[in-house]
Structure 1
Amino acid sequence: MTLLHWTLPLPAGYRRDDVIAFHSRDAQGVAEQVTANGLRKGIVLQGLPVVLDVAFTHDGAVCQADIDGNDNTVTALQTHLHDALLNIVGLRIDPQPFALLAASDPLLAPLIRSNPGLRIVQSASPFEALTWAIIGQQINLPFAIALRRSFILQAGRAHSSGVWCYPEARDVARLSVEELTSRKFSRAKAETVLRLARLVNEGELSLALPPCGDVTAISQALLAVKGIGPWSVNYALLRGYGYADCSLHGDVAIRAALQKLLGEVTKPDMARTQHWLRQYAPHRSMAAAHLWASLHAKNIPPAAE
């Protein structure tokens, strides 16, 4: 085992409890384990099981990567590890530009005031975000979490510490449709997950973001994969790449939150939601985050006069 250590500085007002809550959705914690002050996350990186251990202090995240490999095999992982850590602690998207953009907005400014410092926590990798989007779409959250757990136990690997690690594409590509459907996957979900994994594993689909950060090519490539639609792509851009301008107009919860915000009897349709969100470009991801959060808010301060 090889240990790597470093500390990520945290911005003022950082909300560690949000991060811990995000990673505690699966009460059984096969690949994520949380405490009051930190979390452990298991992932597979370039064939090696890795556990990322994060302990929060008042101004930093003290991080340790426990890698089931020797020093000669981990050097190339350091950039991937740093990226994964930025994702899982929610440091990829800065919430301040959106807060400034919407500071005088009569509808969203009250949401921002009720949730100052709200951040978007991500999956450790684009592949994890994509597979979770496929697994969780159009089913209730408890069932989706159970499917995800089963998926990790089927395709993932156990770290030497006992924590299970979320699989890479090469691990998933070895599975058959029947292995997934035997664990309550629908055939359509199983086929889409395996299709994605095999394309990535065989090098026909790259999930690497270009140096310029333009997501257009990745979006088009993903939309060309049978079974992956605009909602899954936008979710992957949000949770996998930390893209700041995702339009989540196809998300039912976003439309429900907008209905509540506008005080209307019915949900706005996707076209109207897309048009409404466009005013917050290039920060639509944070607009979506505040809309999601508003569904659970009890008291929202009124708009400024």
Structure 2
Amino acid sequence: MTQSAAAQFTLPLPASYRLDDVLAFHRRDAESVAEQVSARQLRKGMLLDGVPVVLEIALNLAPDMEHDRAHTGARSSATCTVLADGPCTPAIVAYARAAADAVLGLRIDPQPFAEFTAADPLFGPLTRAQAGLRVVQSATVFEALTWAIIGQQINLPFAIALRRTFILQAGRQHSSGLWCYPDASSAAKLGPDVLTTRKFSRAKAETVLRLAQLVASGELRLALGPDYGIEEVSAALLAVKGIGPWTVNYGLLRGYGYADCSLHGDVAVRAALQRLLGEQDKPDLARTEQFLARYRPHRTMAAAHLWASLHPPANGQDTTPQS
């Protein structure tokens, strides 16, 4: 067994942090091979710079807040330990920090949207009922984009099963036993038949691997920079065969924590909007896009609240967007 190198850092958690929501999101796969979730710990496996890494996040709640669910996390923090099966380089630690922000849903502050919609007759009551709702991101941009492709136009349980297959075929196992979500280089080595013989459609398998090959070769750049922002990466992704506007917007949401994604093409968003408006039929794409445009530059949070409204909490806590 490889000896894991470790680095550690701590992230503060904001007041009224909805811990149960975040953990519920990461528990979506009951047979998960790349995530382990307990009441106060999240373990996430991923390939960073080709190195198998497990990010262990211990969630430390202030003692006087432990039983006050309405204020969980008011003076709390997340202690993050990076366990790498290889050198724990500064680059790997930086990637792990970004991953921790993402999987804990810390990239988008929910308060600006709550203030923006305070007097809104539709979203005002919704945001107050779901106060503090956060959007959890994938640990890496590549994971977000592959998840968007895998999940497109199929139900969530089937998408989760395909995701598990992708991890087992393209990922690597950490010395702890947890599997690591693939990076582009590891996925690019697969042939489509490896996936199509395991319930992937041919189109879905080819699109996932096409993305992996383009990223691994450097032909498709995912890292943002001064000369390469959201508009540029969106255009580059749309140029990839098999990737359309919904996949791009969902990838921007889960991968970059972009605050203004328009999910007007999302079936669940349209269903939630139908319910919110009290109408007999789902609004069409054009009307949904027009409706969401009112909430710029906060359309990501608008989608999150619409998603969550379809899953009323059984215990007063879990309204996390599950898409």
For the superposition of Structure 1 and Structure 2, which TM-score range results when normalised by the shorter chain?
A: over 0.9
> Which secondary structure state, in structure 2, belongs to the residue aligned with residue 42 of structure 1?
strand
Q: Report deviation, 1:28.
A: 1.1
Q: Report the 3-state secondary structure (helix = DSSP H, G, I; strand = E; otherwise coil) of the residue aligned with 2:28.
A: coil
Pairing of 1:256-295 with structure 2 (within 5 A) = 256-295=271-310
Aligned to 1:39: 42
Deviation (angstroms), 1:209: 1.4
- Post-superposition Cα deviations, 1:249-274, rounded to whole Å, max 9, x if no partner, equal 00000000000000000000011000
Give the secondary-structure state (helix, strand or coil) at the position aligned to 1:110. helix
How far has the Cα of 1:57 moved from its partner?
1.6
Matches within 5 A, 1:200-239: 200-211=215-226, 214-239=229-254
Query: Do structure 1's residue 191 and structure 2's residue 206 form an aligned pair?
Result: yes
Structure 1 residues 60, 298: closer, same or farther in 2, change over 3 A?
closer
Task: Choose the corresponding residue for 1:4, options 4, 7, 15.
Answer: 7
- Please tell me whether residue 85 in structure 1 is matched to residue 88 in structure 2: no
Q: Which residue of 2 aligns with 1:170?
A: 185
Q: Structure 1 57/211 Cα, relative in aligned 2: closer, same or farther at 3 Å?
A: farther
- Deviations along 1:60-97, one digit per CA (max 9) or x if unpaired, are 111111111135xx222222111111000000111111
The aligned residue for residue 133 of structure 2 is 118
* Cα displacement string for residues 139-177 of structure 1 (whole angstroms, at most 9, x for unaligned residues): 111111111101100000000000000000000000001
Q: In structure 2, what is the equivalent of residue 25 of structure 1?
A: 28
Q: RMSD of the alignment, in Å?
A: 1.4
Q: Aligned AA for 1:3? A: A
Offset of residue 55 of structure 1: 1.2
Cα distance in 2 between the residues matched to 1:97 and 1:14: 15
What SS does the corresponding residue of 1:5 show, helix, strand or coil? strand
Instruction: Name the aligned partner's letter for residue 70 of structure 1.
Output: P
Partner amino acid for 2:244? G
Q: Please, which runs of 5 or more residues in structure 2 have no aligned partner? A: 62-75, 317-323
Quote the offset at 1:212 in angstroms: 7.1
Match 1:69 to one of 66, 69, 86: 86
In structure 2, distance between residues paired with 1:296 and 1:25: 13
SS of residue in 2 equivalent to 1:258: helix
2:55 to 52, 57, 79: 52
Is this contact kept in 1: 2:114–2:128, CA < 8 A?
no
Normalised to the residue count of structure 1, the TM-score between the two structures is 0.95
- Structure 1 residue 227, shift from structure 2 partner: 0.1
Q: Displacement, 1:213?
A: 7.6
In structure 2, the partner of 1:97 is: 112
Identical pairs, percent: 65
Structure 2: distance between partners of 1:157 and 1:211:
33
Change in CA separation of 1:98 and 1:78 when aligned onto 2, cut-off 3 Å: same
Counterpart of 1:119 in 2: which secondary structure? coil
SS at match of 2:81: strand
Structure 1 unmatched ranges of 5 or more: 301-305
Q: Which residue of 2 aligns with 1:303?
A: none
Match of residue 67 from structure 2 = none
- Give the alignment's TM-score, normalised by structure 2: 0.90
Report the alpha carbon displacement of residue 214 of structure 1 after superposing the two structures with TM.
Answer: 3.0
